[in-house]
């Protein structure tokens, strides 16, 4: 996978498979400390210590259709190649949190990629999950919670063309706006 | 953070969508499912799904439910797209590129014609 946004999609799919009803994706580009942090937090069924210890092993998977799971080990390897790390906290019956760090400026760090497409895939494609998204760059933050949107829609499908356009523009503009404000703040300091 | 988009705008959109739904109550919903497991994602499933969403937006296609699902179990055929039209059998397509997805939307989901050359026989 050539984009961090695709890895985010892959990890969030694990959360869906774990039966999560609430999933939060946070992306934090901290240019001051040269860190990129990604957190995917769910309230799914979680894992016990033994499974947790083996989960980044490429030959472990919870799936039954095929015996090799490669998503997490690949993501971990990508982070470690960029002076970063991948950590998983999990508790049975409570949920799982995957936290990934990258050195932001590392030459081997793959681009963040199309975050908006990843989020739309998740929000529109799994409407039963309550999705939360936070994008942060330095001191600027954009937050998106799909619950008020669903309440306002009161049963109208998220994939109606006008609804989809609304959500897409909301996220695209939110991310672009945050980036613009953050870079303005940097210009001011200089 | 203040956003230019308000939920009141969304409520207006909702009213419009409901009006359209009442006009074509009997048509029923079509369902499009894209496999989004690790293998699917690596093979380009997100871009395939994006092409489907773009098509719905560009052509203003109502009453289509788009879903994603985990691994379908046909790894060598990823990205996989399944189409279920109201009252019909599920049709499974394999190795679906964004362009193929657009054709599936146009000819099968809207036009009702199965594209047999893309089909996987299960």
Domains of chain B: 27-118 (3.40.30.10)
Q: What is the 3-state secondary structure (H, E, C) of B24-60?
A: CHHHCCEEEEEECCHHHHHCCHHHHHHHHHHHHHHHC
Domain that holds residue A91: 4-189
Helix axes A115-125, A161-189, angle to 10 degrees: 150
Distance from CA of B118 to the nearest CA of A (A): 23
Residue A163: its chain B contacts at CB < 8 A?
10, 13-14, 17
The pLDDT assigned to B70 comes to: 84
What is the distance in angstroms between the Cα of A61 and the nearest Cα belonging to chain B? 12
List, in order, residues 6 or more apart from A77 with CB less than 8 Å away: none
Nearest to A169 among B5, B66, B67 (CB): B5
Q: What is the pLDDT of residues B35-78, one digit of tens each?
A: 999 999 999 999 999 999 999 999 999 889 999 998 777 888 99
Q: What pLDDT does residue A5 have?
A: 97
Which candidate in A121, A135, A146 is best for mutational testing of the B interface (most B CBs within 10 A)? A121
pLDDT tens digits, one per residue of A61-94: 555 544 345 788 889 999 999 999 999 999 999 9
Our CA-based measurement puts residue B116 at a distance from the nearest CA of chain A, in whole angstroms, of: 25
Are A79 and A101 in contact by the 8 Å Cβ rule? The answer is: yes
pLDDT tens-digit series, residues A95-114: 999 999 999 999 999 999 99
Report cis status (omega within 30 of 0) of the bond before B79: yes
pLDDT value, residue A165 = 94
User: According to the model, what pLDDT value does residue A94 have?
Assistant: 96
> Across the A/B interface, how many CB contacts are shorter than 8 Å?
114
Query: Region A11-21: what's the mean pLDDT?
Result: 93
Q: What is the average per-residue pLDDT within B77-90? A: 94
Distance, C-alpha B10 to centroid of its chain: 22
> What CA–CA distance (Å, rounded) separates A131 from A22?
6
Q: What percent of chain B has pLDDT over 70?
A: 89
Show Cβ contacts of residue A8 under 8 Å, excluding neighbours closer than 6 positions. Answer: A25, A27, A38, A40, A115, A118
- Looking at the 3D structure of chain A, how many domains does it have? 1
CATH number at residue A168: 3.30.565.10
pLDDT in tens, A116-135: 999 999 999 999 999 999 99
The three-state DSSP-derived secondary structure of chain A is CCCHHHHHHHHHHHHHHCCCCEEEEEEEEECCCCEEEEEEEECCCCCCHHHHHHCCCCCCCCCCCCCCCCHHHHHHHHHHCCCCEEEEEEECCCEEEEEEEEECCCCCCCCCCCHHHHHHHHHHHCCCCEEEEEEEECCEEEEEEHHHHHHHHCCCCCCCHHHHHHHHHHHHHHHHHHHHHHHHHHHHHC
């Amino acid at each position: 996978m050539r984009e961090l946004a695709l890895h985010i999609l892959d990890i969030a799919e694990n959360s869906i498979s774990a039966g999560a009803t609430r999933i939060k994706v946070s992306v934090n580009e901290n240019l001051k400390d040269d860190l990129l942090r990604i957190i995917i937090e769910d309230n799914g069924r979680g894992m016990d210590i033994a499974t947790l210890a083996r989960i980044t092993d490429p030959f472990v998977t919870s799936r039954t259709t095929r015996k090799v799971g490669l998503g997490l080990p690949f993501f971990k390897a990508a982070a470690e190649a960029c002076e970063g790390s991948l950590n998983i906290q999990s508790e049975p019956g409570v949920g799982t949190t995957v936290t990934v760090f990258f050195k932001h400026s590392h030459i081997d760090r793959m681009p963040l990629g199309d975050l908006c497409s990843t989020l739309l895939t998740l929000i529109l494609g799994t409407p039963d999950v309550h999705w939360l998204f936070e994008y942060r760059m330095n001191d600027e933050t954009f937050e998106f919670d799909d619950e008020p949107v669903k309440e306002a829609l009161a049963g109208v499908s998220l994939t109606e063309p006008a609804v989809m356009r609304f959500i897409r523009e909301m996220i695209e503009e939110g991310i672009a706006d945050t980036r613009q404000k953050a870079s303005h703040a940097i210009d001011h300091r200089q | 953070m203040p956003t230019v988009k308000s939920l009141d705008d969304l409520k207006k959109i909702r009213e419009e969508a409901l009006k359209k739904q009442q006009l074509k109550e009997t048509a029923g919903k079509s369902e499009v499912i894209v496999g989004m497991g690790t293998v699917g994602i690596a093979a380009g499933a997100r871009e395939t799904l994006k092409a489907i969403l773009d098509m719905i937006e560009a052509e203003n296609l109502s009453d289509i439910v788009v879903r994603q699902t985990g691994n379908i179990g046909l790894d060598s055929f990823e990205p996989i797209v399944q189409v279920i039209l109201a009252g019909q059998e599920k049709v499974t397509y394999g190795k679906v590129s964004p362009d193929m997805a657009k054709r599936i939307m146009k000819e099968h989901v809207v036009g009702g014609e199965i594209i047999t050359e893309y089909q996987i026989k299960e």
